[in-house]
């Protein structure tokens, strides 16, 4: 039976590239999305990958969404926690809602999705959870105390859950992308973006497909001995 993967935020940007990569590996992919139904439908029409709508920051919605995917496609074997938002601003001007919404979706979504699928993975003796962190969760970033805290939390969440899943054949890893050529990064003012690229040793933005290849590897049987790790794909921007 084909393994079933859910990719949150899986119809656009990095998430779309991940969904396509896992589909090309032969997995049955469910691409989650939260908002734009028209774009999600266009994604499904273009790729043949089913899309499912729910808010990953809503615990019950994740439980119900995973149950719906299982009903239509089969038990969930792989979770890629990719969904995320930004609400940037310096702490002095940041509202509690800006803080809370980023934490609710970016970090809370990892808990919600893992909670929904982890038990079944344990019972079947095989599972893959890949959490998408960020270089800014590793190094920090001015004006992103909410985003950096949430992404840093993902890295700690990954290491702790990996210890719980290891003896059951469930691996839990993270990928920390650098600046990737997506719509989110395209919204950065050109002068700021030029300064960012100047600090990347390879001299360019990353491509979504480069992140997707890392996810695909960590979801494969070839990565069975890797758990609790963070793979940094950032062009050398941050090394540690």
User: Could you confirm whether 240 is annotated as catalytic?
Assistant: no
The 10 Å Cβ neighbour count of residue 188 is 14
Does residue 203 contact residue 178 with C-beta atoms inside 8 Å? no
Give the whole-angstrom CA distance, residue 35 versus residue 127. Answer: 28
Out of 147, 168, 179, 240, pick the active-site residue.
Answer: 147
Q: Give every CB contact of residue 177 below 8 A, 6+ residues apart in sequence.
A: 14, 132, 133, 134, 135, 206, 211, 233, 234
Say which residue the tokens 């509690």 belong to.
Answer: 96
Nearest to 44 by CA among 72, 71, 11: 11
The catalytic residues are 147
């Amino acid at each position: 039976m084909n393994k079933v993967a859910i990719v949150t935020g899986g119809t656009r940007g990095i998430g779309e590239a991940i969904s396509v990569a896992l589909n090309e590996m032969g997995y049955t992919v469910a691409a989650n999305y939260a908002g734009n139904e028209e774009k999600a439908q266009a994604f499904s029409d273009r790729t043949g990958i089913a899309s499912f709508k729910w808010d990953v920051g809503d615990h019950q919605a994740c439980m119900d969404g995973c149950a719906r995917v299982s009903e239509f496609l089969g038990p969930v074997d792989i979770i890629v926690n990719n969904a995320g938002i930004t609400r940037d601003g310096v702490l002095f001007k940041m509202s509690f809602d800006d803080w809370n919404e980023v934490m609710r979706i970016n970090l809370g979504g990892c808990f919600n999705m893992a909670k929904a699928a982890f038990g079944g993975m344990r019972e079947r003796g095989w599972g893959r959870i890949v959490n998408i962190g960020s270089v800014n969760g590793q190094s920090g970033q001015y004006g992103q105390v909410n985003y950096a805290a949430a992404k840093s939390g993902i890295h700690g969440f990954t290491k702790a859950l990996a210890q719980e899943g290891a003896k059951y054949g469930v691996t839990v890893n993270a990928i920390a992308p650098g600046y990737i050529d997506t719509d989110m990064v395209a919204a950065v003012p050109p002068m700021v973006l030029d300064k960012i690229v100047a600090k990347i040793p390879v001299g360019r933005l990353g491509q979504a497909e480069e992140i997707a290849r890392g996810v695909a590897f960590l979801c494969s049987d070839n990565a069975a001995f890797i758990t609790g790790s963070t793979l940094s794909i950032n062009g050398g921007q941050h090394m540690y």
